[in-house]
Every structure is written in structure tokens, then in C-alpha cells.
Structure 1
Amino acid sequence: MTLEGARERRVRAGGVELCVAELGDPGQPTVILVHGYPDSKEVWSEVAPRLADRFHVVLYDVRGHGRSTAPKPLRGGFTLEKLTDDFLAVADAVSPDRPVHLVGHDWGSVQAWEFATIKRTEGRIASFTSMSGPSLDHFGHWINSRLKRPTPRRVGQLLGQGAKSWYVYLLHTPVLPELAWRGPLGKTWPRILERVEKVPGDGYPTPSLPTDAAHGAWLYRDNVRTRLRRPRPDAYAHAPVQLITPLGDAFLSERLYDELELWVPQLIRRTLPAKHWIPRSRPAQLASWITEFVTSVEGGRPESVTATGKYADRFGGQLVLVTGAGSGIGRATAYAFAEAGARVVAVDRDAEAAIRTAEMSRLIGAPEAWAETVDVSDEQAMEKLAAKVATEYGVVDVLVNNAGIGLSGSFFDTTPEDWKKVLDVNLWGVIHGCRLFGKQMAERGQGGHIVNTASAAAYQPSRALPAYSTSKAAVLMLSECLRAELAGQGIGVTAICPGLVNTNITSTAHFAGVDAEEEKRRQKKSARLYGLRNYPPEKVADAILRAVVRGEAVVPVTPEARGAYLMSRFTPRALRRIARLEPPL
């Protein structure tokens, strides 16, 4: 695997020769990507090109890895002090006059924490993006604070991280790790990454893996025990830090970073529903966050990258697609995700409405937002949309199937055409979205979430809403079934059940069995009643974001929706009696 278009050079430092690759314009801000264990610089091959349009991107093989030479002897040749020498040599070679932006993953992040917290690198680092690798000094203090004050919760955190760190103990054993990596483990590692970590089988890792992994064992042996026993008391970051934490990391607990603000004056947190190897599994997401962070720091505004929404740490940079986003609940939901820093795809059959939502989403806080026009009931159009989104924007992290239409009228007044129209949009639109975008989530293997807008009418029968209620009841049951099926793949499914919400669905709803004049009168009266209730769609949007964060299954939103849901569970006979009442129209 090669980095297409990269310029290579050799940089000497501390008795080794480092292989350095460069992409992009050297006149732009320099971003240095540091790989982890047991990787080589090619772990960044999907991230680096995405950054090269805006930045001077530099990657190098850590000593003893890839095409860089190894120190002799290996013992003592991988200390953090020597790794710092290597970094400074690379930084001086590629950006002698300007500080660099540092990005590290796994052991690349571990050593980059050293670079970002010691005196001799001060002024050389403009920013640091850390992912899946803590500072050994911070880790040592984290352990000591829990040993000194061992509450049950803190002991549980220690034991939890201790279990996740099983591989660290093995790497400290003599000879065995080298034999394993040069033998069966080195041969099976690509398949392990593909099956367990869901890393695409695209030719990574490189053939140097067995040697890289054997040499890299000394990263642990030369540093871990020493630093954890005697962590530095002055390990304060001298540059803004962006922390990206994969929530599904099998090796590092999220709790490791609980007290990081004590050490980092300018800290921005991001979380990602993914596993450990995010440079391979989520390159577009990382490139978006890195670009946003570096740009804000270069502009003297590192705090501006922080989105204002309540759940910015959870959704910042994620790709969210909302159908029916041109108005009402869909528009409010798109805006709420935009405020949380998500990238938004606003989908609506009204092209102008979708464009307005996308434009406002960008103004509110979305780093990127796009408008797409589609009728969700059109299977072929939805298939084209799913293919386009995956190709141009990436795999969706959160899907909100919100598009829907209203239909009122008795069963015998509702024509087959009426039934087909309401089921095509309200049910089949949801089915198309779940099938197409949900499949992409499942194939990616990094989790995600699907939100389907049902209704309180899904469990509250009404003599006036047989078709509408049937469509929404089907959405509710579909959501429950899909939730069960996708649970093992880390994909959550939520059914949102709003009640009387002040949107334009009432003014556009069809009333079966009446003439046009009477239909118009009923639409106006319904809109007036909903307006008097005046429950804003923004509250539904907030419930949607909260449901995704909490992984909730069924969410009745308004008080009347919650009351009807409880009645459907505990007093269904009373609810059936209410269903017999004539609607106030």
C-alpha cells in the first residue's frame, strides 16, 4: 500500500533514519500524523488525502516501523525521550519556521502527549488531536488517585481498565511477542482487524507488519512501567487539545479521560460510536474534525470548534440524515443536530425547503450540510439517494426517518388510493430508509442509530384515523423488530411518538369522505387546535437527540402521548372507550 502522490524524504535522528511522506502544499499549515502500534504510516492512507487539499500533510514511520530503520540495540531504543528527538527532527525538516499541528492514534497519541507536555517542544506544536492513546503520565496519576481513595466506583474503573489492558502484560514478556508476530499472529492480524474491528479489507496492514510489531513491543517495555510508577507532576499541555474517544474501544476505557481538564487548559472533547482503529474505519469523520480544529486554531479561535448544542460531544462531526427536513419536526431535528456540530443531510420532496434547512443548518453550527430532494415512497429514488450519500458524504451515523403525511376519515370513507398513499409515505418510506441506510451501517460494522417517527396514534386507537394509525403502528412494530435484530451490531433503533405538535402536517392532511370545501375547513380547524396546544417541534427534536444518546426504544414525547402510552399498557379498555368518541371537527 502506498500513499498516492506522496513525496518521500529521509530524516536522520538519534542513529536511525526515518521515512517521511508529504502531501499537499508546503506553504499551508503543517499537520503531522503519528501512527500507533502495530501500525505504520499507511494507517493514515485514507485520512491524509482528505486533509491534503487544505494542509501540508506529513506522515512518518516511527523508528523500527515501516521503512524507517530500527535502533541498535532495540532495548532502550524506544524511550519517549528518543521518540521526541525523532518528532523534533521531522518537524524541523518539514516546517522549520512554523509550529505544526500534531495528530496521534494509539501509541502515536501516547508519544504525542509527551511532545505536547514537555518544555523542549513548547512553541513547536500549534495543536494536538489525540485518539485512542492516553498520556502515560496522566494514566499514572489516574491510577494513583484511585488507589489512594478506593471507592467502589473507582475500584471498578481500575479493574475495568486492567482487564482491557491484558495485551500490555503479554507484551512485557520476553521473546514470546516477537515469536507470535513473526509467526501465526502476523499472518492472521489483517483478518482479525477485518472481523473484530470491522476495518475494511483494503490491503492494510503493509507487509512490514510482523517486523513492525516485533520492534514495537519495545515501546511498551521501555516506557510503560517507568512512567506509571513515577508519572511526571508537570505534564500540562502547552497547546490546545482535541480529544477523540471511540466509545467502542476494546483497549481503553472512556473513564481514563475523566480528569483530563486538570492537565489541559484548552480541551475539546469528541466521542465517536466506533471501535479502536478509527483511522481505517472512520477516515472521513476524522478528517472533518481535524480540519475544523486546525482551521479554528490557525484562526486564533480554538474554542470556536465547540458546538453549542447540548450533545455536541456526542454528535459533533457525525453524519446525520433527516427525511422530511423541510419543515416541522424534521426541520427542527436537523437544526438540533446542526447545533450539536453534526454534518447534516436534509432530505425533503420540496427542493427549496430542503435547501433552506441545509443553509440554516450551516449557519447554526453544522460544519457541512447538504440538501437532497427525494420522495421517500419512491424505492428507486431512495436507492439512488443512499448510493449518492455513501459515495459523496459517507456512511450515515444517525438516520431519522421522519417524513410523513396525515390522513383522517372513517374506514369506509378511506379509499384504496388513500390507503396506498399513506402507507407508501408513512410506512414504506421508513422501510426504504431502514433497509438502505441501515444496511450501510451494518456493513460498516461501527454501529449507528435509526430513529423512526411514529405517533401516539400508533398505540391510541381512534375512529377518525384508521389508516394513519395503522401506518404508525406498523412503524412502531417495525422499529421494535429492527431494534432486536440490530442490537448485536451496535445499531440502536428508536420509535419517537409525538402527540399534538404544532407543525404544518394538520394544514396539509387529507380528510377522506368530504368535499374540497369541507376538507379545507377541517384543515384550518385542526391547525387552529394544534396551534392552541402550541407544543413546539423543537421539543420533539430534543427528545430525538436525547433518545439516541440514551439508546431508548419507544419515546412518547408530549404529556398526552405519555399518558396514552401508559393507558395502553395498564388500562387499555379505557383507551378503547375514548377511541369511540367523535373527533371535534
Structure 2
Amino acid sequence: MAGAGLKGARERRVRTGGIELCVAELGDADRPTVLLVHGYPDSKEVWSEVAVRLAEEFHVVLYDVRGHGRSTAPAPLRGGFTLEKLTDDFLAVADAVSPDRPVHLVGHDWGSVQSWEFVTVPRTEGRIASFTSLSGPSLDHFGHWIKSRMARPTPRRIGQLLGQGAKSWYVYLLQTPVLPELAWRGPLGKRWPKLLERVEKVPAGDYPTPSLPQDAATGAWLYRDNVRARLSRPRPDAFAHVPVQLITPTGDAFLSERLYDDLGTWVPELTRRTLPAKHWVPRTRPDQLSAWIGDFVRTHEEPATRAPRPVAEAAVRSGVRPEYAERFGGQLVLVTGAASGIGRATAFAFAEAGARVVAVDRDAEGAARTAEMARLIGAPEAWGEAVDVSDEQAMEKLAATVAAEYGIVDVLVNNAGIGLTGSFLETTSEEWKRVLDVNLWGVIHGCRIFGAQMAARGQGGHIVNTASAAAFQPSRALPAYNTSKAAVLMLSECLRAELAGRSIGVSAICPGIVNTNITATTRFAGVSDTAEEKRRQRKASRLYGLRNYPPEKVADAILGAVLHDRAVVPVTPEARGVHALSRLAPGALRALARWQPPA
């Protein structure tokens, strides 16, 4: 019988070193094996959401670490949890489930700590194909990290030591005798699920398992048997002999990102990822982890068994800025107005960085084409969705579909927009309504609906709203368009203040004159003759074409805004100039606003 959350799993018992390990398997045993190792105070069920997703493509194996879940504990406990004995357990499981092929190892928390031992000791060479590390450093690397900072105690290094020392408060408590056992078997064990739900936003359900109080009490020996010994006498030869993917949650309350500053010294082949999330990512971000793990496994599987990948992917990704691939790989990004122009370029830029992309547009065929191309140039997955952003009910339905089928959006780009030119007195109420419905209400709908999903998840995110240089520049010729974009800018500023406490960033992107097809669809208020309107559209398109500022540069600015959490980003030189004048010489802009461009 499989554990909670692992329905349909095949279970076996593996005997090693006088104990019995409970091992669960999912997926086709003939496929590459992904072995998931849980942390403290968890059992293998912490991986259930990730395991089910990975089992669609791989042979997935999970086991309860000795003394946890349904595995037996050593007797006596003292000395029974050393890294050497945990390595024996890993080899016994690997030999049982994948005797002829190396396994792809994934560890979280203490599962990652012990897995670092597995990938750095000689006796496991040839048994591991790759390693993905989540929220758990090598104790040897940690020990050297401490020693290097003690040897050269600059203010910055001392600050790093003090910062990690404060985050490690629980480690000191677990070293004490009796108290951890009493706490876990008493009030802490009973309250732990609610604490996780409240502090870490871990969804309630079949995790943690009922064995948690006993698991946590017994697992304290992981710390007692290893931490002091390894931190004081770290191994000098702790070099990884496999490719390593490091996934670092930026909101981890227990581990500083600075712990991994020197990791390149110990890992010859290292891939870094960052994730705006808290510590328990196997439960809060299973979709993201599954995408990254699957991609890493495919990349490092033996050529004969490697899953086919798009031919353009390797070439494209080799030219992607490393910080973009690290930050956005595997994340779910939704872009509106994605059938053309800035929206399409933005979808492609995120795809090249390895993100999963939802391309949204009123033009269903255009959205589908963008999604298809996104897959070819690097997106692990991409989908096209047709929706009118001004339709609130349609946006509600879209958000529900995306959440159910693809996951909660990590980055939302509200880019859909339309143009309208003409004087205020010639602009009808219907024309005002259409511009505001798309340019402003479309953004409001996206922010409200998808922003609420991000906030409810509790793991952060980012919203990008495409405003315009017109947001700072008044113009007698563009009252409706400029008003809509100024409103988007102010909305973004207000929303940024409100959502900051939820770790959700908000950026307003303000392009200037960019070579897109918005000019071909711009309406001209007061012009009833279709031929005349077409003439003006062609003239505007020629002018924008002569400027020839590519939408790809705006897309790059959008990725940079998310990466660095920038509030307002004027993109083109003219946009930056107008933004500066709006602050330094607003009177000059008011004078310029009186200019009447020729028809």
C-alpha cells in the first residue's frame, strides 16, 4: 500500500544496515530513473505533487529516509544517521530500483544535504547521472564557507556569517538533548501543519503525514550526528562528480543565497536557478520544479535514451543571458497581445530563457502561431489562448483555465492595447469607451484576476503593465490614448505599493516609438472616410518604420524589469527624454503638447 498522496505507486522494502527502507515507485521502470530524497521533518510524501508530474515521462522513485515515514529507525539512534550510513541507504535503493543505469538525484532540505555527500564521494561514481539541489547545502562546502570568512573577516563577510547564523537558529535547538523530542511529540507536532499553512503558504491536504511528530523527533539525530563534525572538519575533496542544478528559493527563511557564492569552486558543471518562493517548494511550486527537473534530466540523460528536443533549442539557449535563464527557466509567463509586436517579442524572449509561455490574444490563430514558435525556440511548453482582455467574464474564465491546466502564473505581462488619435472634441463616447476598455480595463482585469491568484498562492510573482511614453507626455492629438496609458502608469504605482508585502513586484514599461503593427490598426477620431483613415494609417506606419526601433528591445527591457524589480522603465531614448522632462521641465512638455501634427 502506497503512502498518502502517492496513490497508484508500487511499494517495496529495501533492507540495508539492519534497517528497512520504504520505497515507492511511479511511472515506467524502463525509462530514466529520477530519485527524490526528502528533507526534515518530512517523509517521502512531501514529493507527491512533483512525483506525479514527473512520472508522466520518467521512472520516479521516492523513499522514506531511515527513521522517517514507514522506514525503520536504527538502534541505537545515536550514530545511526551519519552521512556515511545515509550513503549506504542511497546505494541500496539505487541498486534495487535501477541496477543497470545511473539515477538522476533530486534532494530537498536534508535530502539535499545528504545528496551532496552522495555526489561528492568516490564510491557513488557511475551511479548518479545528475543532481538537482533544493534548499540544502553540502555541510563540507558550508564548513569551508565559514572558514574562509573567518580567515578574512571583512565587514561584508562578517555580515554574511551573522545573517546565516540568525537563519540557523533551529540548528542550535536541535543539538540540545531531549527538548526537540518533547516539543515535536507535544504541541509543536500538533501545530506544525497549521504553521506551514500560515507561514509558508503550504496548501492543506494530505501533507504532512500523521507520522510527522515521530519523524521529527527521530530526525533530530540527522543534525546531531553530522553538523558539528562536518562544519568543524569539512572534507577538502568534496568536489561533485556529476552535473548539478542548484535551485535557490529567494524567500527561504532558513538559508541565505550567499551560502552558494563559492559553489562554482566545488562543482565543475553547475546550472543555477532562482525561484521567488519560500522553503517548502516541493509543496508550493511543484509545477515549476517538475519543469526544471524534467528539463535537466533530459539534458543529462544518456544520448541513446534522451528524449527528443526541438532542434533550435540548444542553439537559441546558448545565446541567452545567463541571468535570464537562471531566473525564468521553467516559470509560467502569460503575455496578452501576444500575436504580434511587443507581445510576441516578449513571449519569444521568455521562451528563449526557458519559461513556459501562455500567449493570449483576440486573434486565436496569431496566439497559436506565437505559442508554436515559442516551443521551437526554447519554451518547454507553450499554449495559445484567445480572449478579449476587455471582457471581464472571459478573463475570469481564462484565469481559471490557466490555473487548472498549466498552474499559477509567475509573471503576467498585460500588453494588449489599441491606438486612437484625434482631438478630444472629435472623439466620441464609444471611441473613449473602446480605448479605455482595452488599454485600461484590460490591464485592471489582468492585475485583479491573476494578481489575486498570485497573492493566494503566497509565493510571490511579478506583474508587468505596458504603459507608454505617452503616459508622461500630454498631447492635443492623443487625449484618449494618453489618458489610458497615464492611468495604467498610476495603477501600476498603486498596485506596486499594495502588493510589495506579498512579494509581488509590479513594473510599468513605457516604450516610445516602436516598430509594431499598432499603427496599422489605430483609429482616427473624426475621420469617417475609410480611405482617408487607411491613408493616415499607412503614413503613421512609414514613420514608425523609419524610426525602426525593434520590439525585441522592449521585450529585453521587460525581462530586465522583472529580474531587477524595476518600477517604471522608459525604454526608447525619446521615452527616457520625455520622462526626464516630465520631472525637470513639465512646462516644456505642456508647450510641446500644443503642437498639431500634420494629417
For 1:187, the equivalent position in structure 2 comes to 190
Mapped to 2, the partners of 1:296 and 1:584 lie a distance apart of 57
What is the identity, as a one-letter code, of the residue corresponding to 2:226? Answer: N
Q: Using the TM superposition, give the Cα deviation of residue 306 of structure 1 relative to its aligned residue in structure 2, in angstroms.
A: 6.1
For 2:310, the equivalent position in structure 1 comes to none
- What SS does the corresponding residue of 1:412 show, helix, strand or coil? coil
Which sits farther off after the overlay, 148-157 or 406-415?
Answer: 148-157
- What SS does the corresponding residue of 1:413 show, helix, strand or coil? coil
Tell me if 1:371 matches 2:384.
yes
Which sits farther off after the overlay, 491-500 or 255-264?
Answer: 255-264
Contact 2:317 2:352 in 1 (8 A): no
Deviations 1:79-98 (A, max 9, x none): 00010111111111111111
Select which of 487, 491, 500 maps to 2:504.
491
Contact 2:317 2:378 in 1 (8 A): no
Contact 2:81 2:221 in 1 (8 A): yes
Mapped to 2, the partners of 1:516 and 1:344 lie a distance apart of 37
Mapped to 2, the partners of 1:291 and 1:483 lie a distance apart of 34
Contact 2:359 2:385 in 1 (8 A): yes
Tell me if 1:221 matches 2:234.
no
Select which of 81, 84, 88 maps to 2:84.
81
Mapped to 2, the partners of 1:11 and 1:120 lie a distance apart of 20
For 2:291, the equivalent position in structure 1 comes to 288
For 1:309, the equivalent position in structure 2 comes to 320
**Matched ranges for 1:117-132 at <5 A:** 117-132=120-135
Identical-pair percentage: 81
For 2:344, the equivalent position in structure 1 comes to 331
Mapped to 2, the partners of 1:493 and 1:443 lie a distance apart of 16
- What SS does the corresponding residue of 1:411 show, helix, strand or coil? coil
What is the identity, as a one-letter code, of the residue corresponding to 2:206? Answer: G
Mapped to 1, the partners of 2:26 and 2:347 lie a distance apart of 35
Mapped to 2, the partners of 1:357 and 1:271 lie a distance apart of 26
Select which of 382, 398, 410 maps to 2:423.
410
Which sits farther off after the overlay, 514-523 or 371-380?
Answer: 514-523
For 1:519, the equivalent position in structure 2 comes to 533
Contact 1:308 1:340 in 2 (8 A): no
Mapped to 2, the partners of 1:73 and 1:299 lie a distance apart of 41
Query: Under a length normalisation based on structure 1, what TM-score does the superposition of the two structures give?
Result: 0.98
Deviations 1:7-30 (A, max 9, x none): 111111111111111111111111
Mapped to 1, the partners of 2:54 and 2:196 lie a distance apart of 24
Query: Under a length normalisation based on structure 2, what TM-score does the superposition of the two structures give?
Result: 0.96
Unmatched tracts of structure 2, length 5 or more: 308-312
Mapped to 2, the partners of 1:113 and 1:308 lie a distance apart of 30
Mapped to 1, the partners of 2:244 and 2:392 lie a distance apart of 45
Mapped to 2, the partners of 1:64 and 1:361 lie a distance apart of 46
For 1:156, the equivalent position in structure 2 comes to 159
- What SS does the corresponding residue of 1:117 show, helix, strand or coil? coil
Deviations 1:361-386 (A, max 9, x none): 11111111111111111111111110
Mapped to 2, the partners of 1:25 and 1:362 lie a distance apart of 26
Q: Using the TM superposition, give the Cα deviation of residue 54 of structure 1 relative to its aligned residue in structure 2, in angstroms.
A: 1.1
Mapped to 2, the partners of 1:129 and 1:306 lie a distance apart of 20
Mapped to 1, the partners of 2:204 and 2:597 lie a distance apart of 58
For 1:230, the equivalent position in structure 2 comes to 233
Contact 1:309 1:341 in 2 (8 A): no
Contact 2:239 2:267 in 1 (8 A): yes
Select which of 543, 558, 570 maps to 1:544.
558
Mapped to 2, the partners of 1:511 and 1:178 lie a distance apart of 75
Deviations 1:298-343 (A, max 9, x none): 1448995966422110101000000001111101111111111111
**Matched ranges for 1:37-186 at <5 A:** 37-186=40-189
Contact 1:37 1:216 in 2 (8 A): yes
Deviations 1:249-286 (A, max 9, x none): 11111111111111111111111110000000000111
- What SS does the corresponding residue of 2:119 show, helix, strand or coil? helix
Deviations 1:386-405 (A, max 9, x none): 01100010000000000000
Mapped to 2, the partners of 1:143 and 1:414 lie a distance apart of 67
Mapped to 2, the partners of 1:318 and 1:284 lie a distance apart of 9
Mapped to 2, the partners of 1:493 and 1:520 lie a distance apart of 37
For 2:514, the equivalent position in structure 1 comes to 501
Deviations 1:542-578 (A, max 9, x none): 1111111111111111111111111111211111111
Select which of 33, 38, 44 maps to 1:35.
38
Tell me if 1:510 matches 2:523.
yes
Mapped to 2, the partners of 1:350 and 1:508 lie a distance apart of 13
What is the identity, as a one-letter code, of the residue corresponding to 2:320? Answer: G
- What SS does the corresponding residue of 1:47 show, helix, strand or coil? helix
Contact 2:5 2:206 in 1 (8 A): no
- What SS does the corresponding residue of 2:475 show, helix, strand or coil? coil
Contact 2:472 2:579 in 1 (8 A): yes
Mapped to 2, the partners of 1:308 and 1:232 lie a distance apart of 37
For 1:577, the equivalent position in structure 2 comes to 591
What is the identity, as a one-letter code, of the residue corresponding to 1:487? Answer: A
Provide the aligned length of Structure 1 versus Structure 2. Answer: 585
Mapped to 2, the partners of 1:487 and 1:62 lie a distance apart of 38
Tell me if 1:437 matches 2:440.
no
What is the identity, as a one-letter code, of the residue corresponding to 1:456? Answer: A
Q: Using the TM superposition, give the Cα deviation of residue 203 of structure 1 relative to its aligned residue in structure 2, in angstroms.
A: 2.7
